[in-house]
Structure 1
Amino acid sequence: MNQDELEKFKQTAVQKAVLRRRAGKLALVMANLAMSVFILLPLLYAVSIAFMPSSELFTTSMNLIPSSPTLENFRQAMVKIPLSRFILNSFLVAGCITFGQMISCSLAAFSFSFLDFKGKNLLFMVVMATMMIPGEATIISNYLTVSGFKWLDSYQVLIIPYLTSAMGIFLFRQFYKSFPISLYESAKIDGCSNLRFIYSILLPLTKSAIGAMAVYTFINAWNMYMWPLLVTGSDRMRTVQIGIGMLDSVDSQSISMMVAGVVMIIVPSISVFIAGQRQLIRGMFSGAVKG
């Protein structure tokens, strides 16, 4: 085999390898696309029902796509209940809880990571142990407490009990433990206060943890149901999850309207997840391996 034939053979082998690699990637993309459609099929069908007139929904034939799309279901959902007020309440509650947990969890994690005080490890174990207690086990005692404070049917009863979490403290602490203690000691020698050290040094270095915690906390706060149902009694303080339950009716014709309401309230949570999914995954995995 001469030199020209050898070069031609190498080029052919390279082209075949590139084609096999591209074919493998294409097959992987198609498989992922098919699996995504299969997983999202219930959500896609819910969106289809939201735009579907009731006359098309209740037929013997299975209508997957509305033949006459309409926005009437969304309008009826906004008219039957004050859904805009519920959405505003949920945004306010979820935003305040997210912001509060960012502050409280970062401060607590800083104390467990950089400060040296008696009983630190024992206290951290107690905080972590609270993760094993289900919320249903403490909901009655919490209700009696806030009732004694006369907080019922107010914003503070929806926000204050959730301003910190053991999960957030653990996540931030795992990130902070990846930094050498000498970083904190050097800052203290330069006259840096603890709060300035957290704000100027730690937080900029833990953006993935902040993003992961923000997405996780916002979605959990947005989806709260049992606690808002227990402590609120007026439409002025209801959240979206309670409002969707109010859309349910004995009239079978209200199903499409209720699904339209569900579609409206899941858009914010899905949007937050899509926007922060990379930070969420990076933050969760980094917190699991560092420390």
Structure 2
Amino acid sequence: MSTDSRARSRSRSLTITIGVGLAIGAVITAFPFIWMLTSSLKPQSESIDYPPTILPQAPTLEYYQILFTELDFGRYLVNTLIVVLISYVGLMLMAMAGYAFAKFEFKGKKGLFFLVLATLMIPVQVTMIPTYLIINGLNLTNTLVGIALPTLVSGFSIFLFRQFMTTIPTEMLEAARLDGAGELRTFWQIVLPMSKPILAVQVVLTFITGWNSFLWPLILSSDQKLYTLSVGLNLLNQQLAVNPSLQMAGASVMVLPILIVFIIFQRYVIQGFALSGLK
């Protein structure tokens, strides 16, 4: 056998080995998710069987129906969507801040950007009490606006916008200004369309933050009608011992929308993270 043939054979063997390893890793990683979905379709008698089975013998959607008819998960879902939509208002604010840090020169710019980065070092738990006092002072406790307000601005998101927008050619912006475009028009018609990858990243991150928020809604809302899905899911913990299928159905309702959003924006998310690290 020639040297080239041996090299190609070794390369194929290595490729197959890597592929098998990645496939095994993917199955192991996805197994809890698959178990959650299949368990949510099991009747209660099957969910507590031992030894357990992966696939349900008599699949049923009964527990999804219970969530939305008897346990008020429909209201929790609407509340969560409202919180996420309010959070998206901050997306434009963070984009504007990132654009200013990337393309404008002003006094104190470095100091302000350092403060933005410094907020990343402060745990959320440290600022939770001051934030609660501010929200309470604005009479926004027990409101969905109060729940969403702290998520409007994120130092990490401003940093990502700034990193991405430094890659936008300054000459293009100057050409737009010479043609008579104002700063707001330049931002909306040139900067934002060129920032689709990082916007997709922020859409996903903002959605995940608002969707998974648990501690803050639990602290701010004493009215069960204002609970979000994550808080409502916590109410099912008492059902775990007697009815695991109901718990798994609630977990599936929490996880599936995030998975769908990520699949839709996956290509832009990968591109956005890659380009954000160029400078």
TM-score by length of 1: 0.87
Structure 1: which amino acid aligns with 2:71?
Answer: I
Please state if 1:75 is matched with 2:65: yes
Is the Cα–Cα contact under 8 Å of residues 201 and 269 in structure 2 kept in the other structure? yes
Partner in structure 1 of residue 33 of structure 2: 43
Q: In 2, Cα distance between the equivalents of 1:279 and 1:67?
A: 39
- What SS is found at the alignment partner of 1:81? coil
Tell me what 1:169 maps to. Answer: 158
Higher mean Cα deviation, 225-234 or 26-35? 26-35
Shift of 1:30: 3.8
1:245 aligns with 2:234: yes
Q: Is the 8 A contact 2:44 2:245 kept in 1?
A: yes
Q: Match for residue 21 of structure 2?
A: 31
Partner Cα distance (1:88, 1:29) in 2 = 42
2:86 maps to amino acid: C
* SS, match of residue 140 in structure 2: coil
2:48 equivalent in structure 1: 58
Distance 1:228 1:253 in 2: 27
Q: CA RMSD in A?
A: 2.3
* Equivalent residue, structure 2, for 1:6: none
1:220 aligns with 2:176: no
Counterpart amino acid of 1:281? I
Q: Which amino acid aligns with 1:59?
A: D
Q: Separation in 2 of the partners of 1:30 and 1:91?
A: 40
Q: Which has the larger radius of gyration?
A: 1
Alpha-carbon offset, residue 25 of structure 1: 5.1
2:166 maps to a residue whose letter is: K
TM-score norm. by structure 2 comes to 0.91
Q: Give CA-to-partner distance per residue, 1:231-250, whole Å, 9 cap, x none.
A: 11223211100010112226
Residue 265 of structure 1 and its aligned partner are, at CA, apart by 1.7
- Could you list the runs of 5+ residues in structure 1 that have no partner in the other structure? 1-8
Task: Measure, in 1, the Cα distance between the counterparts of 2:60 and 2:239.
Answer: 23
Task: Report if the CA contact (8 A) 2:98-2:162 is conserved.
Answer: yes
Match of 2:170 among 158, 168, 181: 181
Question: Which residue identity is paired with 1:75?
Answer: Q
1: CA distance between counterparts of 2:57 and 2:240?
23
Match in the other structure for 2:187: 198
> Structure 2, unaligned stretches of length 5 or more?
none
Q: Confirm whether residue 267 of structure 1 aligns to residue 256 of structure 2.
A: yes
Could you tell me which of 222, 232, 246 is aligned with 1:257?
A: 246
Amino acid at match of 1:118: K
What is the identity percentage for the equivalent residue pairs of Structure 1 and Structure 2? Answer: 29
Q: Residues of 1 paired with 2:30 and 2:75: CA distance?
A: 29
Q: Structure 1's 180 and 48: CA in aligned 2 closer, same or farther, altered over 3 A?
A: closer
- The one-letter amino acid paired with 1:161 is P
3-state secondary structure, aligned to 1:236: helix
Query: How far apart are residue 33 of structure 1 and its match?
Result: 2.5
